[in-house]
Structure 1
Amino acid sequence: MSAEDCQDVVVRALEMPEDAAAYARFLELSAAATVYHSAPYRDLVLRSTQGRARYGLAWRGTEVIGALPLMVMDGPLGPVANSLPFFGSHGDLLTGDAGAAAALQQWFRNQMEQDDMAAATIISNPFDAAPQANWQDSTLVDERIGQWTPLTDESGEPLDFHSAIDGSARRNLVKAQAERVSVEVDNTALDFLAVCHRQNMAEIGGRTKPAAFFSALPSVMNAGRDYRIYLAKRNGSPIAALLVFLFKHFVEYIMPVTAPGNREYQPTAALIFRAMQESQSEGRRIWNWGGTWTSQTGVYRFKRKWGATEKRYAYHTYVRDSRVLSQSAEALTAGYPYFFVVPFSGLTKVGVVA
């Protein structure tokens, strides 16, 4: 690409209200833009973590033609950047313009240099059919499996997703119906969602989302427009819930929870099916299950049985301070909560934060 391709492109950080409006318009027109790129999700992550937002916008005249959402967190080894942090959120550069891509990649490298970052990671977007960015000079690459269930065909016609799910998923759905599990939308059920989430994560030793996530959600996102909580009941009492995010043609499977002692009634199957039905009737095209580690065979099979298709995508990490690689996984997790620092497989030895 020649210098002329990007000489009329200007990159500046998203700061002014009028820039935010232009960014929102850009996302609306970008087929690859997901909820993770949106301003409400940015604000949710900022309220849930100790990160700082630094979103680069590429302009040609008065039009935004590209964007690179970035968040930075200070820590014991210096700043770390993610595009984007918080439980595998997709980030990466959004543009169809080669000049904007080159300018935004240079902006990203300038941010690493100016902040003297210890490490920075770009999480690629599996829904970008023609990515313009090239991150092949990254130090380390980690792989994930993106899984999603199509709700419509390419022309927008509804698909029979019920036929696409396998026999075990259909049996679970029949079991929930036989147990008289009912499902309703209740966007006020945040306390139930939070309590069950903590209980479920404690059972498997998983990492919980912070309390600030649940308190911030109704403040920065609009119930019904940006998110929805499906509540499963049996004998009139809540037994499970499902939080989904809504953005354009995407539905994001964010948080399923089940109250202890109720898994045998298969409420999650009833929740998923109801949410899929409503999403399809609203014209949404993609039910996104999110990323799966290659080692998570059980999670992978669960998503597959709900008719999920898949695509590999990458975490591209730039290591700028070699001390990062001599830390333990526990030290990095504690020092940079909810941020990705490096693939743990890339650590050279067990250590402590210097």
Structure 2
Amino acid sequence: MSALQNHDVDVRSLQSSDDAAAYARFLELSPAATVYHSVPYRDLMLQSTGGRPRYGLAWRGREVIGALPLMFIDGPLGSVANSLPFFGSHGDLLTGDVGAAAALQRWFHDQIRQDNVAAATIISNPFDDAPQARWEDSTLVDERIGQWTPLADESGEPVDLHGAIDGSARRNLAKAQAERVTVEVDNTALEFLAACHRLNMAEIGGRAKPEAFFTALPSVMNAGRDYRIYLARRDGSPIAALLVFLFKNFAEYIMPVTAPGNREYQPTAALILRAMQDAQSEGRRIWNWGGTWTSQTGVYRFKRKWGATEKRYAYYSYVRNRRVLSQTAEALTAGYPYFFVVPFSGLTEVREGV
């Protein structure tokens, strides 16, 4: 890839192991960096989606001072780029340097002029309190609600988790305790997690994560360091599980599952509290529930009852092939699985009521 220069800032794509090490050091120093920006998560997306990574790094000398992770996938209308794809992963540009931000934005527009790109989307980062990049020149904008529960206050002191959650969550915890639900960490319970996930998604007509996700997870991420599987048992039998990703100050609520016929015992409540307590005891400060669509009122309320705070963030989509807008939602989903193409509200068929 050709490098773009902005005075003392040099932008080029991450290619070597030395690049990856410098990028990892940058992420460690960046307070807004999440697990989604990391190289292990990149590798998980690669194996789960079949995408092509192109991570732009802004260098000043030998130091990375900014980054913009991109992932591409080919499809019937050309390629689609996301920062980042796969079930609402945050991406966006990370930097505190104005010059690096400008150079990386130019690099982004250079990339989407290449490779027959039909559409590209930047998913903004709700944990970046002072973003240097602006994406107001995008074609379409979609909105989400980021929700997270603080595990520590502004001074770094642990919060009272029981006091932060509302009465219905406490009743669910009491029910789990009364039903003798126990929780343990069992990172070998991947097969149980995958099987229950497929059943749960089939029950609600949702899209399950591909088998490749579960196959790749233990090979690209480190159990105990990068992720944990919490397993709930009742009378010795596994009835539910929760996958959590771990990165710096963050614990990420990734995948809760419950075996059929066991929801009445409220095992998910017991799993969440144990995982929150573990994250808090390790000094992590944020339990991230992830994004919520504005229409998902039930999901929104569920997270709120666990003491979640919130912040709006956006999906900024750049349409380069106008044929994208004349497609159906089903065609775009089938043609670009696990990637965001454009907000379905922006499709011609939706606007015209077809």
Give the alignment's TM-score, normalised by structure 2.
0.97
Q: CA deviation at 1:89?
A: 0.1
* TM superposition shift of 1:115: 1.8
Partner residue, 1:84: 84
Whole-angstrom distance in 2 between the partners of 1:291 and 1:75:
26
Question: Offset of 1:154 from its aligned partner?
Answer: 1.7
State whether structure 2 residue 100 is matched by structure 1 residue 93.
no
Q: How does 1:22-41 map to 2 (within 5 A)?
A: 22-41=22-41
1:333 aligns with 2:330: no
How far residue 137 of structure 1 moved from its aligned partner, in angstroms, is: 0.1
- 1:57 is paired with a residue whose SS is strand
Pairs within 5 Å for 1:202-213: 202-213=202-213
Partner SS state of residue 339, structure 2: coil
Q: Which structure 2 residue ranges, 5 or more long, are not aligned?
A: none
Aligned to 1:150: 150
Alignment of 1:233-244 (within 5 A): 233-244=233-244
Return the letter of the residue paired with 1:283: G
Query: Which whole-Å CA distance do the structure 1 matches of 2:122 and 2:181 have between them?
Result: 41
| Pairing 1:102-251 to 2, within 5 Å after superposition | 102-251=102-251
**Alpha-carbon shift at residue 116 of structure 1 (Å):** 2.6
Please give the per-residue CA displacement for 1:53-103, whole angstroms capped at 9, x wherever unaligned: 000000011110000000000000001000000000000000000000000
Q: What's 1:294 paired with?
A: 294
Provide Cα deviations, 1:123-170, integer angstroms capped at 9, x if missing partner: 000000000001000000000000000000122110102101000000
Partner of 1:67: 67
Which residue of 2 is the match for residue 56 of structure 1? 56
CA distance in 1, matches of 2:320, 2:159: 47
For residue 349 of structure 1, give the secondary structure of its aligned residue in structure 2.
helix
Residues of 2 paired with 1:41 and 1:155: CA distance? 30
Deviations 1:13-69 (A, max 9, x none): 000111100000000000000000000000000000120000000001111000000
The letter for the 2-side match of 1:203 is: E
Q: What letter is aligned with 2:209?
A: K
1:315 aligns with 2:315: yes
Q: Structure 1 CA distance, aligned partners of 2:157 and 2:270?
A: 24
Instruction: Please report the TM-score for the alignment, with normalisation by the length of structure 1.
Output: 0.97
Deviation at 1:6, TM superposition (A): 3.4
Which structure has greater strand proportion? Answer: 2
User: Counterparts of 1:347 and 1:73 in 2: how far apart (Å)?
Assistant: 20
Sequence identity of aligned pairs in percent? 84
AA of the residue aligned to 2:274:
R
Residues 209-268 of structure 1, C-alpha deviations (whole Å, 9 max, x = no match):
000000100000000000000000000000000000000000000000000000000000
Q: Deviations over 1:182-207 (max 9, x none)?
A: 00000000000000000000000000
Structure 2 distance, partners of 1:76, 1:257, is 34
The 2-side partners of 1:314 and 1:280 are apart by 29
1-structure distance, mates of 2:349, 2:252: 36
Give, as a single letter, the amino acid of the residue that structure 2 aligns with 1:264.
E
SS in structure 1 of the partner of residue 113 of structure 2: helix
- Could you tell me how far apart the structure 1 residues matched to 2:171 and 2:274 are? 15
1:91-123: CA deviation from partner (whole Å, max 9, x where unpaired): 000000000000000000000112231000000
Q: CA RMSD in A?
A: 0.8
